[in-house]
Structure 1
Amino acid sequence: MGVFEVLRFGLKRGGMGIADRCVTHPLFSWTWSGAGEIRFVPRLAEFRPADSQTIIEMMEGKYLLAGRMVETYGASPFALESDFDDWFADLHGFGWLRHFSAVTDPGQRAFARTLVLDWVGRFGEFDAEAWDLFITARRVLNWLKSLSLLSEGATPDQSRAILRSLSIQVQSLKVRAPLVYGPVTRLMVEIALVGAALSEAEEARDLSAHVASLQALLETVLDDDGLVKNRNPFTQIQILSEIIPVNQALGQRHGHMAAAIGPRIEAMHRALEKLVLGTREPVYANGCGQVPVELVLAITAQSGVRGSGSGLCGGYGIVVDGPGKLVADSGLVPPLAFARDAHAGALSFEYANGSTLVVGNCGPAPAGLSDSGNLFRHTSAHSAPTIDDISSARIGGGTMTGNALRPRGPEPIMALDGAENTLELTTGAYRDRYGLDIVRRLTLMGGGQTLVGQDRFIAAGNRSRQQGAFTIRFHLAPGVALERSSGEALFRMTYRNGEVWAFLWEGAEADIDDSVRHSAHFGLNRTRQIVLHGPARSDTDVAWVFTRQS
């Protein structure tokens, strides 16, 4: 990554941030906050699943959002000061409104409307955090999808207050959209603007311009495989959750416009399907943690895409054999504008046989441990090899780049041998310091019930470098009972569903250590990890096998 690229990134990001602060300053915000009221009608449909238990908990003052339960003890959730950014974003994004949309109980519907009106009363005027562009775009879309819920039973004054606030938020997105540097945020803003234009009672004159902008942004944000360039499956899910209803409404009213963006949305579906294991959860990689299975299934149901075999996608390698599926990360570092939350997961993988997760990664830091976020981005939080526990990519630390992930060494290499059902990945992240590249081969066989792995350390570069020690970690699924066979290079693992698996290895010493895995409900689940270690020398060869015994 060149100095000029970093400098250009920092200056552009900083300049746009200053411009956004200017247009949202009270001296200038009157130019858009005084926008006239737009009459919106319910045209966007909600396909995401609803949960009646969530309604009960919220009415009791318990808000489980972003994996964090917060009790308000009767107070409005918007009256609380939260230290948990993800919880705050989910609360102010109003995705939870979908749980109320299908209910018929007048009291429950009134409760949802009261929360929206409470937000209008507290945050109707610009607030830097609550009016964050990504959050505002999601809030606009979720209010538009819940218009029937918010309007039925409301007094005329309540309806006017909601529509007035919605109009101002839409106008703020129009004014601030050109000042967004983050490509994913810019895309979400444009999805919201297309959704708002479609929902206007009168035909919006700027609809075609917004659709054209959306089409261009999809080309910018997605790679050739249809994966978001930050390589985060959760971002893929967030975008699909919002763009699907917008494209469906667009198809009903302007089929030719929907046809222009439809192929890219279908490519997004195909990319997501490749990164979902047999557990029906996406792989924990590059900031993605536990996602509700019902949400993944709901998104899948919106497309005709079905399971595919082994292949490559967006820097990931996928190996499939029967019900067994493995997704490995080459360690490709996203472009700088997409790398803020990316993980240093070179050569890491997750492997499931059917609904049994055998081995995986730790996932992102939970809401309560945001200060430890970079620890969870480190290679050691992944099922991957390292040397001297040095991360395979640089994590943050740059004034201009902020917390973005930056590459070490050359771009990784990945190849799939279809005949052997073998994936080979090579990282040069340790070449400059140790004069070594690491090559990992992964072969799935036996109907997906046996994974054979090999990690080789090979000489690279022009001269010998310092000596180090390798560590190869395998983070196991929560609830696994792990025991070591006496006198054998074998671990036996008993999973919660009763399946018994064995892990065998040669070419290294082995230990058992504690580990964790991200949970949407508990923050973290405690689990165990198998750790192989030894001296990292040229031609060091470590072989290992996961195989099901019963």
Structure 2
Amino acid sequence: MQETSRPFAEPLEEARTDSGRPQASGMAHMTEVEIDPPQPGSPVVEAQSSPTYYSMPPGNRAVDLVGAALVRARDVMLARTYATWAYGQTLRGPMPDHMVLYPRDLRPGLADKAEALFQGRWSLPGGQVKTDGGSPFAATPPTDAWAEELHGFSWLRHFTAAGGDAARTYAQTLVAGWMTQQSAHWDRIAWAPHVIGRRLTSWVANGALIIDGSDLIYRSTLLRNMARQARHLARTAALAPAGEKRLTAALGLAFSGLCLSEGEKRLEKGLRLVCRELNRQVLADGGHVSRNPAAILSIMLDLISLRDAMAARGLEVPKPIRDAVDRMMPMLRFFRHGDGRLALFNGANEGLDGAIDAVLAYDDTRGKPFGFAPHSGYQRMAAGHARLIADTGPPPPGRYSHDAHAGCLSFEISSGKSRLIVNCGTTRVLGPDWEAASRATAAHSTLVLADTSSARILRGKFTRALLGARTMEGPTRVESRRHENDSGIWLEASHNGYEKLFGLVHRRRLFFSGAGDELRGEDLLVTNEPRKAFPWQRRYWHKPPEDPAFAIRFHLHPDAKLSLSQEGASALVRLGNGEGWQLYARIAGVEVPLTIEESVYLGGGDTTRRAEQIVVVSKVFRGEAKVNWAWKRVSGAPAKREAPELPELPDL
């Protein structure tokens, strides 16, 4: 096995760096093989041509910064106002005397997680803190994300799962401690609208845990505190950051109105906000405007809980909520791999244990996932027991792109319950360098030109402080077309993310066999004069380098076992289900050696697992390049290598 000395742990730069990877050598001849192209007139042929995606320009950075600065100034002034005694008096009002119902929390709880919290190990998304017997609310949070998770109380579900008097007593002690601390001072994170929304949702969903068996003083204090939070949320929910956070705030307001005895008006306002945000954020095909599969799962967990709770109270569920659930359910199946968990695109991880199953249990149709999500910009191929999911869309709009990745034209494959090719995933624990590295193109199974990401992420401290880590540049034109018949599925896609810097367009062509046992691919870099889709597009930022190097990366799942042939001409990957998959590649008609590099897998959330990646390295020559490669399922000894040629796509 060959390895390079450069581990993934060395953060990947957004700018070009010297990769130190070896050049291809030792090529051998490969025999030709052909696949008959589908006939367009055949009744078994299904053809789809996607719309051309134009992503709007990221906007004028100066204008964006001015707007963000004004919002920041507003938030600072409001926070000072909220922290005053006078404002606190305005939150007084009728006190609820009970919770009307406890809606079901569909986020699965884990008893072993509760045991770790009992022992003071607060491992939450965003970091880990050991309290040594003290209150977690008195600890210094490692990140803002960790603090949001702590103050959001979604971890209460683990105590509910554990059950027993000890879990109930400890949970009530923590809730009482939070109320005591927050009565003493204002905390900007604890009282952020989306954090209040998550906290109120968690408290009502785990109401039996934090209320039952408590004394009268604690119970009345808790209900009064919840009403106080809900009144503040009613004033600020619309000010939450755009995207999923604003929807979380709106859902929390709706839950508080639904479950507290005096919340009728808040329920009405909360439902209006929920419906408005669903219309803004949920696309026609059921995807989320952020293009993050995990956002679909998170929103569905709350929407179904809200829908069922309203039905339990005999209330009519608004049509936008019903429609959003109906659209998002098949999209959740679309992103589901053979192991039952999510694909890793644009900030998603595999999802909470059992969460997808909890949502899909409410899917009465249980239909097959569709193959093409035209509004979200994804393609799905399923054949035999293999599944392939590909990103064929541009970055999301800037305000929704804080978790977006530079992974255009990347793909993942699973066979049965085992994953073969993956993207690296995302992390919020290991610091900004690791976060930037996981969002770079090199962390995805696609082509990387000159160690440069196809989309750029804001990195400056000042701009990130105001705008966040949003995507500011990337592909503005992404095209794809698809053709199907009994022999398999053809997909051709392209993006212009490298056009401004290098004058090159990346085109990727795939053929997935009807038996699901073979994937043939072709990656091309071609010179292309930029289409003047918008008048502000420029030719290049600077003179493109001559004959830049590129790498085609195939990141493997950690459970996959990789071996390389002695000549490096092919690689054999053994999956956990016992299957073997063989990879080989060809450049200019001859085999090209494969190299192995270290990788890392972040799909489990905030855990890291060592992994490997197969890399094909070459250079652009006279403004273009072409690499053919093929993955083939094998049994026993490696199969005879055939030339990974693809048939021409028929005109659609």
Per the normalisation by structure 2, the TM-score is: 0.79
1:67 positional shift: 7.6
Task: Confirm or deny: 8 A CA contact 2:120 2:130 kept in the other structure.
Answer: yes
Q: Which runs of 5+ in 1 are unaligned?
A: none
> 2:73 corresponds to which letter in structure 1?
I
Identify if the C-alpha distance between structure 1 residues 242 and 56 changes in structure 2 by more than 3 Å, giving closer, same or farther.
same
> 1:310 corresponds to which letter in structure 2?
G
1:192 positional shift: 1.0
1:204 positional shift: 0.6
1:532 pairs with 604, 616, 619, which one? 616
What residue is the counterpart of 1:77 in the other structure? 136
Mapping 1:36-435, distance limit 5 Å = 36-39=94-97, 40-66=99-125, 68-101=127-160, 104-124=163-183, 125-202=185-262, 204-253=264-313, 255-304=315-364, 305-313=366-374, 314-397=376-459, 399=463, 401-419=467-485, 420-435=488-503
1:233 positional shift: 1.5
Identify if the C-alpha distance between structure 1 residues 11 and 34 changes in structure 2 by more than 3 Å, giving closer, same or farther.
farther
Higher helix share goes to which structure? Answer: 1
Task: Confirm or deny: 8 A CA contact 2:417 2:577 kept in the other structure.
Answer: no
Task: Confirm or deny: 8 A CA contact 1:480 1:496 kept in the other structure.
Answer: yes
Per-residue CA deviation, residues 363-422 of structure 1 (Å, 9 max, x unaligned), is: 112413344311211101111102101110111146364421123353211222233412
Q: How many residues matched?
A: 550
> 1:525 corresponds to which letter in structure 2?
R
Higher mean C-alpha displacement, 72-81 vs 518-527 = 518-527
Per-residue CA deviation, residues 114-171 of structure 1 (Å, 9 max, x unaligned), is: 1111111223442012222222211110001111221111111111221122112111
Are 1:443 and 2:511 counterparts? yes
* Distance in 1 between residues matched to 2:275 and 2:386, nearest whole Å: 36
1:513 positional shift: 0.5
Identify if the C-alpha distance between structure 1 residues 293 and 98 changes in structure 2 by more than 3 Å, giving closer, same or farther.
closer
* Distance in 1 between residues matched to 2:473 and 2:634, nearest whole Å: 40
1:308 positional shift: 1.5
Task: Confirm or deny: 8 A CA contact 1:12 1:181 kept in the other structure.
Answer: no
Per-residue CA deviation, residues 48-69 of structure 1 (Å, 9 max, x unaligned), is: 3222222222222223322855
1:213 positional shift: 2.6
1:9 positional shift: 4.0
* Distance in 1 between residues matched to 2:186 and 2:93, nearest whole Å: 14
What residue is the counterpart of 1:20 in the other structure? 75
Higher mean C-alpha displacement, 201-210 vs 416-425 = 201-210
Higher mean C-alpha displacement, 197-206 vs 473-482 = 197-206
1:483 pairs with 556, 563, 568, which one? 563
Per-residue CA deviation, residues 9-38 of structure 1 (Å, 9 max, x unaligned), is: 444443333333333323463254445533
Task: Confirm or deny: 8 A CA contact 2:519 2:631 kept in the other structure.
Answer: yes
Identify if the C-alpha distance between structure 1 residues 203 and 404 changes in structure 2 by more than 3 Å, giving closer, same or farther.
closer
Identify if the C-alpha distance between structure 1 residues 223 and 358 changes in structure 2 by more than 3 Å, giving closer, same or farther.
same
1:203 positional shift: 6.0
Identify if the C-alpha distance between structure 1 residues 409 and 346 changes in structure 2 by more than 3 Å, giving closer, same or farther.
closer
1:3 positional shift: 7.7
What residue is the counterpart of 1:517 in the other structure? 601
* Distance in 2 between residues matched to 1:254 and 1:94, nearest whole Å: 28
* Distance in 1 between residues matched to 2:62 and 2:286, nearest whole Å: 29
* Distance in 2 between residues matched to 1:493 and 1:329, nearest whole Å: 23
1:225 positional shift: 1.4
* Distance in 2 between residues matched to 1:3 and 1:440, nearest whole Å: 25
Identify if the C-alpha distance between structure 1 residues 181 and 70 changes in structure 2 by more than 3 Å, giving closer, same or farther.
closer
Give the secondary-structure state (helix, strand or coil) at the position aligned to 1:523.
Answer: coil
* Distance in 2 between residues matched to 1:481 and 1:179, nearest whole Å: 49
> 1:246 corresponds to which letter in structure 2?
L
Give the secondary-structure state (helix, strand or coil) at the position aligned to 2:100.
Answer: coil
1:325 positional shift: 0.9
* Distance in 2 between residues matched to 1:312 and 1:391, nearest whole Å: 24
Give the secondary-structure state (helix, strand or coil) at the position aligned to 1:486.
Answer: coil
Task: Confirm or deny: 8 A CA contact 1:251 1:258 kept in the other structure.
Answer: no
Per the normalisation by structure 1, the TM-score is: 0.93
Identify if the C-alpha distance between structure 1 residues 205 and 481 changes in structure 2 by more than 3 Å, giving closer, same or farther.
closer
Higher mean C-alpha displacement, 386-395 vs 105-114 = 105-114
1:509 positional shift: 4.4
Task: Confirm or deny: 8 A CA contact 1:20 1:179 kept in the other structure.
Answer: no
1:465 positional shift: 4.7
Q: Which runs of 5+ in 2 are unaligned?
A: 1-55, 531-538, 636-652
Query: What is the RMSD computed on CA atoms of the aligned residues?
Result: 2.4
Task: Confirm or deny: 8 A CA contact 1:368 1:523 kept in the other structure.
Answer: no
* Distance in 1 between residues matched to 2:262 and 2:235, nearest whole Å: 21
Identify if the C-alpha distance between structure 1 residues 329 and 135 changes in structure 2 by more than 3 Å, giving closer, same or farther.
same
Higher mean C-alpha displacement, 340-349 vs 53-62 = 53-62
Say which one has the larger Rg: 2
Per-residue CA deviation, residues 423-468 of structure 1 (Å, 9 max, x unaligned), is: 2220111122322211112222253232221111222017995321
